[in-house]
Amino acid sequence: MTPSAPDHPAARRPFHREIGYSNCWEDPLVLLEALAIAPGDHVFSITSGGCNTLSLLVADPGRVVALDFNPNQNHLLALKQEAFRRLTHAEVLQMLGVRPCRTRLDLYHRLRPGLAPETRNFWDRHPRAIARGVIHCGRLERYLMGFGRLMRAVYGRRRLEAAFELETLDEQIRFHDEVIDGRFWRLLFDGFFSRAIMTRAKDREHFRQVAETRFGPIFRARARRALATMPLGTNPYLALIMLGHHVGDESLPPYLQERHFETVRSRVDRIERVTTTVDRYLAAVEPATFDAFNCSNLFDWLDPQAFIALHRLIVSAARPGARMANWSTLLERPIPAEQVPGLVRDEGRSRELLARDRAFLYANFQVGRVLSAQLGT
């Protein structure tokens, strides 16, 4: 989720001067299937909120490089890593803000000695974020949860909570069509997710390459798909927005699920955090270093020339057969196999996995493969 050059306009934007994302709004189950990580693989991952990078540990990679040009995103990941080292599963959920807790600052002071000085200084300056629970502190989260508060005010908390207990998709469809949908919902949704509001809440540079002006109906159609065609009870994204909290262990991202806790704890030191730009890092890394690339929604921020150039760097840094995956918000931008020798995109697999994506912020998902690093040089 970073631009690929330090002088890119996004680098100076307010969104990247704080924690932009305290969660990943991209489905880790889809990502794990797309990357098909084998034990011992070396993986490149955009840090973002750290959730998907930590969830990759479930697949037993040998090494994960988590990169973000925003140091605050890596401070967040470092805090999450230290929580796994020093706390129980229940305490991790409390510390991060998944479960209620009145003693988060006490838990933080148990983690504090293990944090690097720059990370410790960052969190010492943000006690309110700690006290609230850090999964709620991102700029995007504050925006989305603001919409959730409006939903609870309009439809009622109990009614929304009951929706997460529905047992069939037919019941969910009726809930959407008969309870949620209507003229007021469309006005509310289309206004809150309009281009004017989203570019203020997120960042106008995120949408610089997007010609579409009416964002609301597009996101509303995606929200309808998530509300009506996928089980709500295991959807972490809609639960966090609509209810302000997760509803059960199965609705958590893999890294937070109890069955994966000891696995993630034992592998958390395999993550190496890097704070720099993507192009600078990949240009300096040894050729044929990585087996998989989680590019998040990195390419949303790039102009067409930078988009092509960065794929060339990915091919150079990839081992033969390496897998790659990325999301985009509104841009329909296929992996540039025609312009970058050595790349193959899998359009069928991309469509199949996108159809199972439980999030609704991203409409496009791309899965690709590097045939041979030498072909891209």
Residue spans per domain, the chain: 9-72+257-376, 139-254
* CATH ID of 9-72+257-376, from 3.30.2010.30, 1.10.1660.10, 3.40.50.1820, 3.40.50.150: 3.40.50.150
* Cα 265 to Cα 152: distance, rounded to the nearest angstrom: 36
pLDDT computed for residue 9 by the predictor = 54
Q: Is 294 helix (H, G, I), strand (E, B) or coil?
A: strand
Report pLDDT digits (tens) over 38-80.
Answer: 999 999 999 999 999 999 999 999 999 999 999 999 999 999 9
Q: Is 42 helix (H, G, I), strand (E, B) or coil?
A: strand
Is the confidence at residue 8, as pLDDT, over 60?
A: no
pLDDT computed for residue 256 by the predictor = 98
Element (H, E) at 2: none
State the maximum Cα–Cα separation within the chain, in Å, rounded to a whole number: 58
pLDDT computed for residue 282 by the predictor = 97
Is the confidence at residue 146, as pLDDT, over 60?
A: yes
Please give the average per-residue pLDDT across 341-362, as a whole number: 93
Report pLDDT digits (tens) over 289-325.
Answer: 999 999 999 998 889 999 999 999 999 999 999 999 9
Q: Is 237 helix (H, G, I), strand (E, B) or coil?
A: helix
pLDDT category of residue 199 using cuts at 50, 70 and 90: confident
Are 282 and 337 in contact by the 8 Å Cβ rule? The answer is: no
* Cα 222 to Cα 292: distance, rounded to the nearest angstrom: 28
pTM for the structure as a whole: 0.94
Tokens of 320: 């033969």
Are 322 and 311 in contact by the 8 Å Cβ rule? The answer is: no
pLDDT computed for residue 363 by the predictor = 76
Q: In 87-215, where does DSSP find H-type helix? A: 89-96, 104-111, 117-124, 127-132, 139-155, 157-163, 169-174, 183-192, 195-198
pLDDT computed for residue 57 by the predictor = 98
Please give the average per-residue pLDDT across 257-281, as a whole number: 97
pLDDT computed for residue 12 by the predictor = 65
Are 343 and 311 in contact by the 8 Å Cβ rule? The answer is: yes
DSSP for 310-342, written as a single string: HHHHHHHHEEEEEEEEEEESS------TTTSTT
| Opening angle at CA 302, ends 33 and 254, nearest 5 | 25
In this structure, what are the phi and psi dihedrals at residue 72, rounded to the nearest 5 degrees?
Answer: -65, -35
pLDDT computed for residue 1 by the predictor = 41
**Do β-strands 271-274 and 343-345 pair in parallel, antiparallel, or remain unpaired?**
unpaired
Is the confidence at residue 373, as pLDDT, over 60?
A: no
pLDDT category of residue 366 using cuts at 50, 70 and 90: very high
Is the confidence at residue 5, as pLDDT, over 80?
A: no
pLDDT computed for residue 208 by the predictor = 82
Element (H, E) at 123: helix 117-124
pLDDT category of residue 11 using cuts at 50, 70 and 90: low
pLDDT computed for residue 10 by the predictor = 58
Are 263 and 56 in contact by the 8 Å Cβ rule? The answer is: no
Tokens of 348: 């069928």
**375/327: higher pLDDT:** 327
**244/201: higher pLDDT:** 244
